[in-house]
Structure 1
């Protein structure tokens, strides 16, 4: 059965017709006209997902298959690919969590097609309050290549990315080994000085994790690790665009500095996608999820307890606040993160898996999906 999608290209607004057959892109052609305000582009890639809809990649499950619901829920919001993100924990628990994702992929074909890598966030981060964020202090440590190599083997090659702080002795050599092994190194949760950040970039670090978050509440005006990462031309950066983690004007500045190297992540925790209310969280204890989507410590609205958004909400925040036009916002959530791992990725290449979205742009509301295809199969959503 063949599926045809007609709309404007997310890249440049040109009118396209895409034919999909047997799960692959069969043909792409330009057409004279297309329905007004309909856009076509690739599915989104979210390289930082801790959990979603009450399910947590950082908790051992009695039923591993339950975690497959994360892929299904994220698909309904356009995320056709994502990285389960495992944060700082004991070496043994980290191993178990990695093996749990590997087992899930072997048991659930749809989850396997959606989970394109694992992101290890920690434990090689700053031990300081502020930069450490909500990570367990007792498990923070300096880089250990033997330990990380063990995790790589346990992941069966699925670990594609690590967030670390280059403030530790031995960080440069560790980053070089990661780069040689094809692991993307991202700087985050850091208290590194300017020299350490520059040396990390020289060694192969290519990204900053949720830039502007995971920091001290007050930093020196200069020098500081924020300026150093902004100034590093070879560093791309991810941001959380939910309206709570970063003010709109900060995103404007980051966009001007990083330009095409800036991209979106959700950094969603397990409570993302849940109804508003008070909850007991594995990290943070008692927390409140507001109707607006802000997740904060109970009784303390000024202290965030994680991100409760999905990546579509990040795109729509950019659109509603005139922080990006539709082509740029879509690229920030799709081709930009993908090209960190596949530099020559072409979203409309003939013969590749048909992970596509047909959407309508609604003034002041953002994107409304008409179709989401995963491997050419239409995904049901509300």
Structure 2
């Protein structure tokens, strides 16, 4: 059976104003222009979120499969057809049990992989990470996680200034796991050394990092100017000033900028009291902060809202779409499967109205919302 979806189709090479995406089974079979088609809704590839801790009242951080399944379903309703389950700094026992619990979900396709944000992070830049669990990178721990993950472990964020970090980056990249730099007080030179060692993602650029100074450029400048590094950006109007967001996009381009949610369980939920990595979080006016010191604790963002915010501050729609779909898929090695409206890729797409609100979502050739 062939299914056709018509509208303003956003492809890697531009917008087909009168376009059609043809779907057979779970694959895109063709993308073409049909002049007889009226200019309709935006048709964009399914969003790929490589950094999210939960949503809809559910979390990935406890390693519970039912909660992970529910969080993934929440984000699917907002157009995210592929996501990494991001865990926060925790004892190794939890890292190991969560990996074991999430492997079946990755094999089933509910999750696209696991992202460990910590615990190998800087105490000085820990943000909402629990300082009690921070430690130097352990090759033994990482080796075991990679082994029991059976390919599910896709990214690890660490601070390159910690003892053993460069060796850990080497281990990760050797096993096909993305090494990301984040929650770091590293110098520009230390960050460049991490990139040379194989690090290829900057975790939520500017946030949880030594700030930029004209005599001490720090990690953000090193990551922005490294041609082989993808830079995560949290486009919620809270984590980044619009000038910072547009500066990053102008510097690195949509080909290297990745919009992420960094969402926690409170995404899509009312203001109130929540938890992240064993720490109390208060959400007020949609902004999540640690109860103990007011540090920003993830976000309540969804990928469709991130797309709208980026466009509102001046990013062209095709570039913003690339930043929520194509670029993140490439950043974590999923580009041959998802992230673009292109023949042969999985039929993941989102129909958006003219205000870029989600109308419906297709995943693997089936309408799911």
TM-score (normalised: structure 1): 0.88
Of 336, 341, 344, 2:327 maps to: 336
Spell out, residue by residue over 1:166-189, the C-alpha distance to the aligned partner (whole angstroms, 9 max, x if none): 102332222122111111111000
Gaps of 5+ in 2: none
2:256 to 235, 258, 261: 261
1:325 aligns with 2:316: yes
1:115-164 CA distance string (max 9 Å, x none): 11111111111122xx1112122221112112101011121210011111
Query: Following TM superposition, by how much is the alpha carbon of 1:9 offset from its aligned partner in structure 2, in angstroms?
Result: 2.3
The separation in 2 between residues aligned to 1:258 and 1:204, in whole angstroms, is 18
The answer to whether the 8 Å contact 2:264/2:299 transfers is: yes
Separation in 1 of the partners of 2:176 and 2:212? 33
Q: CA deviation at 1:7?
A: 1.4
TM-score normalized by structure 2?
Answer: 0.91
What root-mean-square deviation, in Å, do the aligned CA atoms of Structure 1 and Structure 2 show? 2.2
Aligned residues: 362
Please give the per-residue CA displacement for 1:267-301, whole angstroms capped at 9, x wherever unaligned.
1111111112x21424475443234x22234597x
The 5-angstrom pairing of residues 1-382 of structure 1 reads: 1-11=1-11, 12-14=14-16, 15-61=18-64, 64-105=65-106, 112-128=108-124, 131-215=125-209, 220-223=213-216, 224-259=218-253, 260-276=255-271, 278-283=272-277, 285-291=279-285, 293-298=286-291, 303-322=295-314, 324-340=315-331, 341-342=333-334, 347-362=340-355, 367-380=356-369
CA distance in 2, matches of 1:38, 1:368: 10
Q: 2: distance between equivalents of 1:199 and 1:66?
A: 38
How far did residue 315 of structure 1 move? 0.6
1:318 shift after superposition? 1.1
Q: 1:299 to 1:194 in 2, by over 3 A?
A: closer
Counterpart contact for 1:8–1:34, Cα < 8 Å: no
- Unpaired runs of 5+ residues, structure 1, are 107-111
Q: Compared with structure 1, are the counterparts of its residues 295 and 39 closer, same or farther at alpha carbon in structure 2 (3 Å cutoff)?
A: same
Per-residue deviation at 1:105?
A: 4.7
How far the C-alpha of 1:219 sits from its partner, in A, is 6.4
Task: Tell me, yes or no, if the aligned pair for 2:89 and 2:277 is still in contact at 8 Å.
Answer: no
Separation in structure 1 between the aligned mates of residue 166 and residue 291 of structure 2, nearest angstrom: 40
Q: Give per-residue Cα distances to partners, 1:233-283, cap 9 Å, x unaligned.
A: 33220011111111101101111211121110001111111112x214244
Contact preservation (8 Å) 2:86, 2:116: yes
Equivalent residue for 1:109?
none
Contact residue 8 and residue 40 of structure 1 kept, 8 A: yes
Measured against aligned partners, the alpha-carbon deviations of 1:352-371 in whole angstroms (never above 9, x if no partner) come to: 32111222222xxxx12233
Report the 3-state secondary structure (helix = DSSP H, G, I; strand = E; otherwise coil) of the residue aligned with 1:65: helix
Q: Contact 1:134/1:284 (CA < 8 Å) preserved in 2?
A: no
Alpha-carbon distance change, 101 to 191 in structure 1, aligned in 2, over 3 angstroms: same
SS in 2 for 1:361: coil
CA 1:149/1:284 → structure 2, altered by over 3 Å: closer, same or farther? closer
- The alpha-carbon deviation at position 221 of structure 1 amounts to 4.4
